[in-house]
A and B are shown apart, each in its own frame.
Chain A
Amino acid sequence: MSRHLEVLEQGRLDVGLSLGELWFRYFELGGMSTALEVEAYLYGALIPTPHDGDVIAAALNERFAELGGDHPIPYSDDQ
């Protein structure tokens, strides 16, 4: 997977979601990892599966869309 994980953390900061709130949105979209694991993905302590990374990206993209933006976070099969 070529995606840089920093994109996820930067996206989270850009849309102003707390870690807890991001985890809840990730969970709403079908995510299966715990809040602690998601935090570890964002800080690079754990590497998510491409699928898990996509669910986090989707949660962020939906937040970007709520704020009137596009879907700036790429998914794992975009390139």
Chain B
Amino acid sequence: MSHVTERGGVADELGLMIRLLPNQVVVGVIGEVDMATAPDLGCLLGALVDRGHTDVVLDLANLDFLDSFGLQMIDDTAARLCPSGGVLRIRSPTARTRWLLDVSEVSGLVEFEPSDPDLVPLGSEQQAGDNAPIVSAAAAEATVEGGWVAAMPGGHDVVDAALELVTALAQATVGGADGASVSLARRGRIGTVAATDDTVAQMDRDQYATGQGPCLAAAGEGHWFHVESVADEARWPDFVPRARARGIGSILSTPLMAAAGRSVGALNIYSRTERAFGLPEQELAALFATQAARIVASADVAAAQASRLQAALGGRELIAQAQGVVMARQGVSAEVAYATLLRSARQAHIRLRRQATEITASTQRKLPLTGSEP
């Protein structure tokens, strides 16, 4: 792995779509690949090569910008695939991207192919508006190393399903990973919302039960915690023996950062091997944690919008009911009744909604309609 960023995270301008097929992995790139983001993408591609993938497709249909760092990264990846007889395929490049690859002579190392309509988005993408809820990841499916991993519809929260996809991809792409999970703080309680298997889920529960461990530390303090060797670990004395008993060798917990630097949970990657995770794996974990945090953030925005919409519909209904009361009492049209309500609310210096509530309630008390007699 030649590139490790100092930031330890992925820039906002880069979105990724990943599909793991039995004999091929497709990485869709959305946004900009430049000095800031090329190392992140290079890290992901490097990890895929390290995991033995020899057929790697880079889908550039949604690439907005590619600079010399991006070209160098593509060149490096193609070169790394060569010794194993692998190939880097460039799918659906724009004319400009194709031209860039040609003039920089990168095109000699790669193969080109037309577009793939089935690529599945992972997490929040740039084409969506700032507040648009991202639910497309929930419909995502991926075959991970021959096994079928699908976001499960029905009875499963959309977000949890998307997060399960992230854990599956993290397990499949982070070298040495035997399992992964996402822990989230919801309503003040932390819990596991996605886990690749029972051992992993149990490891998380051990941490919640003892109130200790790298997952809780990462979620609580907002930076990553790495247990290089469970055998040698001196922190978290109540939790660590349980991890050892379950045959875990190393743990890497990366916080999920929401807006304003607030941590909302952690992505936990477990290995049965001691010292399984180096800097490239930490970088890759940060990339998946970023994707997971984006999914959570999108869901929070969607939830806030949904509850506001619900409140608005309630308000509309109240006003409509009061309109009906005035129409019946005064024998006027809906619009005249509305104007009557507006005038009486203004006179009473209250909101229209409150005026409507009082008028509707007055039908129960048989009180006259204030301020609205003709």
A residues near B, CB below 8 A?
24, 27-30, 49-51, 54-55, 58, 61-62, 65, 71, 75-77
A71: contacting residue among B315, B320, B339, B346, CB under 8 A: B346
Q: Contact flags (1/0) for B303-325 with A, using CB distance below 8 Å?
A: 00000100110011001100100
Interface size class of B (residues with CB under 8 A): 10 to 19
Residues of A within 8 A of B338 (CB): 30, 51, 54-55
Residues of B within 8 A of A76 (CB): 339
A25 to chain B, nearest CB (A): 9
Q: Is the CB of B312 within 8 A of A58?
A: no
CA distance A71 to B320 in the complex (A): 22
CA distance A61 to B346 in the complex (A): 9
B200 to chain A, nearest CB (A): 42
B315: contacting residue among A29, A58, A61, A75, CB under 8 A: A29
Q: Is the CB of A54 within 8 A of B346?
A: no
Q: Is the CB of A58 within 8 A of B335?
A: no
Q: Looking at chain B's contact residues, is the secondary structure mostly helix, strand, loop, or mixed?
A: helix
CA distance A55 to B352 in the complex (A): 10
With contacts A29-B319, A51-B335 taken as known, whether A75 is within 8 angstroms of B349 at the C-beta atoms is no
Name the residue on A nearest B333 (C-beta): A51
Q: Is the CB of A75 within 8 A of B312?
A: no
CA distance A27 to B312 in the complex (A): 7
Name the residue on A nearest B335 (C-beta): A51
**Is B342 among interface residues, defined by CB-CB distance under 8 A?**
yes
B341 to chain A, nearest CB (A): 9
**Is B351 among interface residues, defined by CB-CB distance under 8 A?**
yes
**Is B343 among interface residues, defined by CB-CB distance under 8 A?**
yes
Residues of A within 8 A of B319 (CB): 29-30
Q: Is the CB of A29 within 8 A of B352?
A: yes
Q: Is the CB of A30 within 8 A of B343?
A: no
Residues of B within 8 A of A24 (CB): 308, 312
CA distance A59 to B353 in the complex (A): 11
With contacts A27-B316, A28-B315, A29-B319 taken as known, whether A62 is within 8 angstroms of B352 at the C-beta atoms is yes
Residues of A within 8 A of B312 (CB): 24, 27-28
Known: A51-B335, A77-B343. 6 other contacts (CB 8 A): A27-B312, A28-B316, A29-B319, A29-B353, A30-B320, A51-B339
Q: Is the CB of B351 within 8 A of A62?
A: yes
A75: contacting residue among B320, B323, B339, CB under 8 A: B339
Q: List 6 A-B contacts (CB under 8 A).
A: A27-B316, A29-B319, A51-B335, A62-B351, A75-B343, A77-B343
Name the residue on A nearest B317 (C-beta): A30
The B331-349 residues at the A interface (CB cut-off 8 A) are 335, 338-339, 342-343, 346, 349
Q: Is the CB of A30 within 8 A of B346?
A: no
- Please provide the 5 A-B residue pairs with the shortest distance between their CB atoms, ordered closest to farther: A28-B312, A51-B335, A30-B319, A28-B315, A71-B346
Residues of B within 8 A of A28 (CB): 311-312, 315-316, 353
Q: Is the CB of B352 within 8 A of A77?
A: no
Residues of B within 8 A of A49 (CB): 335
CA distance A27 to B317 in the complex (A): 11
CA distance A58 to B339 in the complex (A): 10
Residues of B within 8 A of A65 (CB): 349, 351
With contacts A30-B316, A30-B319 taken as known, whether A54 is within 8 angstroms of B351 at the C-beta atoms is no
CA distance A47 to B231 in the complex (A): 75
Residues of A within 8 A of B353 (CB): 28-29
CA distance A25 to B103 in the complex (A): 54
CA distance A51 to B333 in the complex (A): 11
